[in-house]
Chains A and B, each alone.
Chain A
Amino acid sequence: MLEGVFTGFSTAFTLTNICMMFIGVVAGTLIGMLPGLGPISAIALMIPITYGFDSASGLILMAGVYYGAVFGGSTSSILINAPGVAGTVATAFDGYPLARKGQAGKALAIAAYASFAGGTIGAVFLLLGAPVLAGVSVSFQSADYFALMLMGLAAVSAFAPKGQFLKAMVMTVVGLMLATVGTDNVSGIQRFTFGQLNLVDGISFLLLAMATFALSEALMMVLEGEDTHLGSPATSDLRQLKVSKQELKEIAPTIGRSSVLGFLIGVLPGAGATIASFLAYGMEQAIDNGKSDVQFGKGNLKGLTAPETANNAASTGSFVPLLTLGIPGSGTTAVMLGALISYGVQPGPQLYTENPQVFWSVIISMYLGNVVLLILNLPLIPYIAKLITLPRRFLIPLILFFSLIGVYLVSFNTFDIYLMVGFAAVTILLRFLGFPLAPMLLGFVLGGLLEDNLRRALLISGGQLDFLWQRPITLGILVVTVVILLLPFYRRINTCPTTREDYH
């Protein structure tokens, strides 16, 4: 393992790659800070630009973009109470009140420290846990993969906010349906292409991700009106970043607890940064039980630390199933999978055994992204935060332009632009009606793999469905899937006051 870590570090520590890391963090922060644009959009926007890069440089840049976008989302949550993505909604609960009290700088510094600590502890767990799971997953067969994917899809719906279970489920099914468009791998038959040559290869993942997230988020901002998200940014006191020893002592146990909780939740397929951040917030609130001088929701430091730590630890945790099983557990890791594949890296059990240097460089670059985030963003935050004040009349067309051109640069086919506009229009309707889109994206990504593994499993079992219960591991995963599906009927989510319809 140490050899692998060393290889990962030596790959990352070249002048070019360090530059990539810095560029990635700055770009990610800038994009993530824009209300509505989160890690999904940030990574998707960067994929076409990094096509020509070698895999290590591309991955390092993406790691920076990923963490930068998560932190950028926290910045807009704290400064203007406008969480770009659901994962940073809980950050605004105490972060924004702190900023309103004139402690915006301190709130951002704590958010950065908490993110860093969560990411670091998460990376250590990833370092230790991923090889173990990768070792186990080598023995997985098609039936187990099929069961795992069902579990991932079920979990996305089961962990959906209250009242969204069925809606998340149906959107997952819609994603699976969209994945069947194009030529069938086995029979060569074209499905749902309407005779269009442009659809023979299916719908591009990047296109769907950009249309359903970046484009539709920007258009929803227009629909909801100028002042729906934006408040006046509390940027005057951003230079006062100092956090006292007493305050650090106060938040240290919170960081420890939230990291572990966040990582474990992140590892579960379907439960991403959003659930982790809300649960960590709820846990700290319960532990505190009104003992603190400052109440939760009024600028409590632990209330800011818990979600920030947990969402970063969960982001790192979500890489465990991606790297070891090749299965993305959330919308964000689904886009990251797209990015990895575009560099010729196919995550899965074979990655660890056959290509350990890539496996380790992904893990190490994820961690280094965290380090650069801390050293770069804190001093730059007063300047970066000015972006929030960019008028929407300029911002929206620019977001639309970057989204469209990002997809166009991959295919150089204007049909993709039309398709994106079509998807964006339908997505706006679905968003307006309160139907979540992250499950659709996940269903779309897993659709092809699900069908391939189902076919392989049926082929091995001679067309019989007994593959579902023949191996204990398949049966075990399916039992867990059923339990997960029954969860929503037994639980009451009092701690998840989600304000947006999407979760990652």
Chain B
Amino acid sequence: MSKNRLGALVILVFSGGYGYLALDLPSIPSFEDAVDPSSLPIALSIVGVTISMLIFLIPAESPSIVTTALSAIKPKNLYRVGGLLALMVAYGTVMNPLGFLISTVFFLATGFWIMGERKPKAILIISTVTPFAFWLSLTQFLGVYLDSGIVGRLISELLN
């Protein structure tokens, strides 16, 4: 299957699903509003489905095949992207319990490691200095609140 067609299918499914949900939106016709909350979404869904079907049906001039394009991607890079996506989700999960500083050190250090950095000294220095410098400049100079967790509170107390 060509890239165009797969993309069209993805958007076709999205537009269809969006339209299905739009049909379920309550209709409240009132003298103040000539358009229902569902009017525009339904219209957009119809346009989305129509255009994606056109893309699917009209053959591209020089179609790029999905499997060929996929084979050009090294598995190592694919794993790295997957790893980074998972790491970002983990970052969001630990942000509140651990605070900004610890979670960011964890995020950066793991990120560098996923990207292939193996020197512990380099990982440690950059992943520690960056969040601390960022945190200091935001909280101390720009006056932006940033929940820094237990570690940050200890440093704040020391600084004050």
Contacts and interface: CB of A to CB of B under 8 A. Distances in A.
Interface of A: 48-49, 51-52, 163, 166-167, 169-170, 173-174, 176-177, 180, 184, 186-187, 189, 191-192, 219, 222-225, 391-394, 396-398, 400-401, 404-405, 408-409, 412, 414-415, 417-418, 420-421, 424-425, 428-430, 432-435, 451, 454-455, 458-459, 462-463
The 9 nearest A-B residue pairs measured at CB: A397-B111, A417-B92, A433-B7, A393-B115, A463-B34, A458-B34, A170-B51, A184-B37, A414-B92
A427 B73 CA distance: 17
B143 interface: yes
A455 B144 contact: no
A454 B40 contact: yes
Contacts of A400: 84, 88, 111
A222 B45 contact: no
Contacts of A180: 40-41, 44
Nearest to B143: A52
Given A173-B51, A414-B96, A418-B89, 13 more contacts: A49-B144, A170-B11, A177-B48, A219-B84, A219-B85, A225-B74, A393-B112, A397-B84, A397-B108, A397-B111, A417-B91, A434-B4, A451-B40
B111 A177 contact: no
Given A174-B14, A401-B130, A404-B91, A421 B146 contact: no
Contacts of A421: 85, 88-89, 92
B48 A174 contact: yes
A409 B73 contact: no
B4 A225 contact: no
Contacts of A225: 73-74, 77
A455 B35 contact: yes
B55 to A, nearest CB: 5
Contact of B4 (A223, A396, A433): A433
B37 A187 contact: yes
A462 B32 CA distance: 10
Contact of B21 (A192, A393, A435): A192
B37 A409 contact: no
Given A52-B142, A397-B107, A458-B34, A223 B73 contact: yes
Contact of A434 (B3, B54, B80, B111): B3
A459 B32 contact: yes
A27 B8 CA distance: 38
Given A396-B84, A454-B35, A414 B95 contact: yes
B157 interface: no
A459 B33 contact: yes
Contacts of B48: 170, 173-174, 177
A218 to B, nearest CB: 8
B111 A459 contact: no
